[in-house]
Structure 1
């Protein structure tokens, strides 16, 4: 990355929600210090600022209700952690056992999900900071109450800020969603273009992007649907919900390929020009998605790109020429697949145009949207049941092992700091706390990023301290680095670690004259804390992803099964698309994303998990193709007028589902019942072949009667029988491949 790209990235950061939140956090933390210092009570302001720091981790994107709940419980955890750990630190006898119980107990709260893990982090952070002996007026109780007051101030501040900036938060999420979807569609185009046979890296990148899309969609659903509930028939909220629905449809259409990539290359061997035109049209839509993202993020006026319509015109013109010049019967399948592919692209094009109209007509026109109760079914809810906590008090639970591991590492860091009389032993604990994650791969990444970031930050700090000896400059830099540190934590942890190091050094330079001593101890404590975290995750009850990957595979297979069942039901019944179809589609996407993320973590583990890494990647890839084939079948049935489904279609689908159930039974180590479907599949293939030949014969008779153009009804029936047959064969092959791969893998 050159200097120009770094500068562009910096400018992009300034536009992000993270940077705005960093400024907000800095304001919330600094105001109490300034106000208290004005009245000669600096220590009170420091304690309240600590309360702001401890309460802020759980303030992540989501509905206002969830954010308020998260921050409120963080305040409680921060106050309790400060109070109990503060009193425990006064007794050499009680300190270790009390801290061990607190660390383990707070860590176990993470079983209730992501936001709960951030609330738990607030409590753990409070325990560590209580060992810093930050000066405060009065007793531990008074200090704890001031920390709690600071947390409540942050809660009030963030609620007020929410009502001032809620529109920007939603727009940033929508902008990110369009950007990620554009990236996903571009990778799909690259896969379609690639004829070298080397598609592995593109497929891995596709898995990564889909995981990010799933995370974005979950947050966007939470924000948009909850605001629809709160603001009712607001035109702005309705518009955003409609755009989000169109965005999900664009993703499904992008995922739905009529046939697999290898088959596409075979069919279009002599029609590269036509396929390239489709890819050019797809890339024009990618650029338009990026333009929509820019409009959302920068609040610019939307401008239609005439090139998009021109690319569309060229594709349809090429199809008409192809239709006239096609060599029958050898190119009949190619032309049917070609038409189906451009119909899918046409639907994507229409969705983009629909979004354009909504962007231009800000309030939008009345249009059918889901009822609030129906929309709320798409929100992912978390069960806060005490039984969940009890069920996880077991060595099989990754959270239980992580809680034990974290407790041992933090206590070891505390004892090490006391044994060697480190100046700021709590820095060791703080480093271990922020680095350690339940899985080895994430901890290893954090370990590297923290070390590199601290070294970079330390080097920059030394240079500045050598050149500048001015406390006012240190104060300004302390504020600036605080903003950037908070902004970069989720985006780039290495950069965040560098800014955190700079901030700590500048703050201490204001309090103490010997800045180089601060830098020296900061480096040493970071290395020790990071080393403890890394070794603890590797040797103390490690959670290896390769041992639990089969659970993610099983969950994804089950979600695909449900999705296929909904597709079959819809084909049989027709009519309005049911909500259950959309829910099953959402779950299939989410579970596939979870599996992709788990595999990425597994790929970073040491040698223990590498023996089956190649096979597991094949399983993940086949599962992804299975989802793509399902989406393709479902999309075709939705966008085309289809005939009544035959019993042979049902038999095919039953055989596919049986293969998937067989795969799941192998993963669960259950008894496997062999269910032969060979005869039914052979009958189905014969039936579809006969139907296809009947339709071809009808077309021949049309030509004999002088009808040059194929009749629309016959075209649709030919297309349906060809596409449905291809999709069923593809799904059956994929389900059988998945079964074989799982049978050969030792989980």
Structure 2
């Protein structure tokens, strides 16, 4: 329990909650002591509204984001106060501001958080209307609050500059370990393989998010002062190794059914390998635990001994059956052994990074050109303009949010709600572009608000000391912000407790506060839920063709880069790495889209099985491409044959067909492709590669001969598999088009 509490308080969520709580509580406590509570409250409000824009990145972007948010928060408050006396100007201006600030989300995660701060500030401005000099003073104090939060944030970063990166790397270790554990589960004879593969696909979505976070904080930071520290170099090396471990795991697939059948009479062989597979995962998990808990890493598994045990059982198998009879089985087991050797090599690098006396200079060069993999951060007006159409999910969401808030204003003028701005805040906090998340957050918000209101009311019936209530309010605020991104229901409960406690200190009518807060929350959640269903809904089936198209395009581009590398040899190019990264991301995005669809009403889950099939096919295609690419990178290969290039062209052609079908716009415009007789001849040519090699005198040496045969076999198998997969993708995309 002590360790769990320690991990909780050491988490990024708790750290962020502590920052915003300190930035909000210090001004209130300080100015209340001098009798100027309102000044402290205004500063605290500015800090609270600026907080959402503080997302991890390099220092420059982080400071700029917080400063922009602070200025927007103060500016919005001033505009609302200036226009409030003229409602015929106020409401059109509010609609335009809400739409604009919602639309800036098209510029990415940081812009989305700044947008959230801006929308919150517009809503809260209606809770505190001022006139004359007071409105300028009030807005100025909010700006001070934003700047004070920036100071607090930079102080935290100075005290623990690397902790966020360490926790993100730890999370990456945990997820990669989980992925490796699932691969080990596949070796069970009765394992539910389809379910395990589905879990791996969902896990890929989580890994993509962590990878993007680490690229942002590690790679972009390399141009700044803390980007060149030993700790940052070490964590960058670990991140690169984890990417390679995942790619190698994805690129190496085994026919488990065939292997179980082949070694049914020799169960010790596969049991030994499965034990090694589990220990690979356990080693990464142990490193994760040591990093998370601030403990010295002590290896629990001897992977080299496990590898030696596998070598021994392979040798025993060969001796038992005889070299000739065991040749096929030994070849299969040798592939498994080779995979394990490569994984152990990479895991050992991660292990050494957390050992004493580790020198990151020994691995210099592995992180070169990483900055070229990052997407440049700029905000062209053209991006905003291109999204001003109903084909844009953000545009639909912006219209929906604007209309819903304006309806809330109308309801506020027709019915005697005490705090209309609470309804507005609930709408902004709950409403998301997707139906599923909005529905979930609506119910969680209502449950959390009711539970929090009842708990706070019960405590206030017993406790009347303002100091105790204030301490409980601060504690509730910390817990509320900590749990908001972990468990929204629990987070909403603590936030409600905090709000009720604050009102319990400043107003005697606490019963009314609780009743109105619950009522306003229910109304706001109801409006958000209904609006997402009826106002320009963005059902996932509407955007899935885009995700399908992008995933196929990314795989096609990755294949083309592999082909170029195989033909030209040399160093791995930046364009190759970018294509590989994009392929992983886009396949993950497609699976994330499928996840969102599964949360929508059954009537809106159109072609759900077909979409899932395409997601699995694209993931399998990526696995095959990664296998081919990894082999070419890690082996000295011969010159690419003409047959190889013809097959690659055919696979590319198939994927281009699939891309066109996935568009769902050109139905019936493409003729069905004829069987490629030349392709069949090329496969025959490829299969004859072994026979040709036998006639080459300079390959008489056994080791060199085996390497050539291994290359020929793997390349042939992957090309046949790629062709079959590309044809399956064409059929699936065509069927998706026909049933739209």
Residue of structure 2 in register with 1:345 after alignment: 340
State the alpha-carbon separation in 1 of the partners of residues 4 and 83 from structure 2: 46
Residue of structure 1 in register with 2:177 after alignment: 182
SS of aligned partner of 1:57: helix
State the alpha-carbon separation in 1 of the partners of residues 456 and 48 from structure 2: 23
CA offset at residue 136 of structure 1? Answer: 10
Deviations 1:427-483 (A, max 9, x none): 111111111011112211211221222233233323323443332221111101111
Residue of structure 1 in register with 2:224 after alignment: 230
Which of 329, 335, 348 is the aligned partner of 2:330? 335
Residue of structure 2 in register with 1:541 after alignment: 536
Residue of structure 2 in register with 1:515 after alignment: 510
Q: Note if 1:689 corresponds to 2:683.
A: no
SS of aligned partner of 2:105: helix
Aligned pair in 2 of structure 1 residues 590, 261: CA closer, same or farther (>3 Å)? farther
Equivalent residues in 2 for 1:629-640, closer than 5 Å = 629-640=624-635
Equivalent residues in 2 for 1:311-390, closer than 5 Å = 311-325=306-320, 332-360=327-355, 361-369=357-365, 374-390=369-385
Aligned pair in 2 of structure 1 residues 589, 271: CA closer, same or farther (>3 Å)? farther
Instruction: State how many pairs are aligned.
Output: 732
Residue of structure 2 in register with 1:731 after alignment: 722
Larger deviation, residues 178-187 vs 574-583: 574-583
Residue of structure 1 in register with 2:702 after alignment: 711
CA offset at residue 650 of structure 1? Answer: 1.8
Deviations 1:224-265 (A, max 9, x none): 123322237543332222221111101101111244555555
Equivalent residues in 2 for 1:674-685, closer than 5 Å = 676=674, 678-685=676-683
Q: Is the 8 A contact 2:551 2:587 kept in 1?
A: yes
Q: Note if 1:102 corresponds to 2:97.
A: yes
Unpaired runs of 5+ in structure 2? none
Q: Note if 1:506 corresponds to 2:504.
A: no
Which of 213, 218, 223 is the aligned partner of 2:207? 213
SS of aligned partner of 2:86: coil
Deviations 1:611-640 (A, max 9, x none): 411111111111111111111111122223
Equivalent residues in 2 for 1:32-431, closer than 5 Å = 32-133=27-128, 138-193=133-188, 195-196=190-191, 198-231=192-225, 233-259=228-254, 272-325=267-320, 332-360=327-355, 361-369=357-365, 374-431=369-426
Q: Is the 8 A contact 1:238 1:369 kept in 2?
A: no
State the alpha-carbon separation in 2 of the partners of residues 307 and 370 from structure 1: 26
Aligned pair in 2 of structure 1 residues 587, 80: CA closer, same or farther (>3 Å)? same
CA offset at residue 679 of structure 1? Answer: 2.3
Unpaired runs of 5+ in structure 1? 703-709
SS of aligned partner of 1:94: helix
Q: Is the 8 A contact 2:43 2:143 kept in 1?
A: yes
Deviations 1:564-585 (A, max 9, x none): 1122222222232222222211
Larger deviation, residues 97-106 vs 330-339: 330-339
State the alpha-carbon separation in 1 of the partners of residues 549 and 534 from structure 2: 28
State the alpha-carbon separation in 2 of the partners of residues 453 and 330 from structure 1: 67
Give the alignment's TM-score, normalised by structure 1: 0.92
CA offset at residue 54 of structure 1? Answer: 0.9
State the alpha-carbon separation in 2 of the partners of residues 168 and 581 from structure 1: 32
Aligned pair in 2 of structure 1 residues 15, 159: CA closer, same or farther (>3 Å)? closer
State the alpha-carbon separation in 1 of the partners of residues 487 and 529 from structure 2: 19
CA offset at residue 676 of structure 1? Answer: 4.9
Aligned pair in 2 of structure 1 residues 469, 15: CA closer, same or farther (>3 Å)? same
State the alpha-carbon separation in 1 of the partners of residues 266 and 686 from structure 2: 26
State the alpha-carbon separation in 1 of the partners of residues 347 and 414 from structure 2: 64
Q: Is the 8 A contact 1:656 1:732 kept in 2?
A: yes
Q: Is the 8 A contact 1:288 1:305 kept in 2?
A: yes
State the alpha-carbon separation in 2 of the partners of residues 497 and 218 from structure 1: 28
> How big is the alpha-carbon RMSD for the aligned residues of Structure 1 and Structure 2?
2.6
State the alpha-carbon separation in 1 of the partners of residues 61 and 322 from structure 2: 61
SS of aligned partner of 2:405: helix
Aligned pair in 2 of structure 1 residues 371, 177: CA closer, same or farther (>3 Å)? closer
CA offset at residue 397 of structure 1? Answer: 1.6
Larger deviation, residues 504-513 vs 227-236: 227-236
State the alpha-carbon separation in 2 of the partners of residues 149 and 680 from structure 1: 73
State the alpha-carbon separation in 2 of the partners of residues 422 and 326 from structure 1: 84
Residue of structure 2 in register with 1:741 after alignment: 732
Residue of structure 1 in register with 2:598 after alignment: 603
Deviations 1:397-422 (A, max 9, x none): 21111111101111212222332211
State the alpha-carbon separation in 1 of the partners of residues 729 and 615 from structure 2: 9
Give the alignment's TM-score, normalised by structure 2: 0.93
Equivalent residues in 2 for 1:401-550, closer than 5 Å = 401-550=396-545
SS of aligned partner of 2:416: coil
State the alpha-carbon separation in 1 of the partners of residues 396 and 254 from structure 2: 44
Q: Is the 8 A contact 1:258 1:727 kept in 2?
A: no
CA offset at residue 677 of structure 1? Answer: 6.2
Larger deviation, residues 719-728 vs 491-500: 719-728
CA offset at residue 26 of structure 1? Answer: 0.9
CA offset at residue 693 of structure 1? Answer: 5.6
State the alpha-carbon separation in 1 of the partners of residues 397 and 175 from structure 2: 32
Q: Is the 8 A contact 1:508 1:518 kept in 2?
A: yes
Q: Is the 8 A contact 1:456 1:498 kept in 2?
A: yes
State the alpha-carbon separation in 2 of the partners of residues 25 and 365 from structure 1: 38
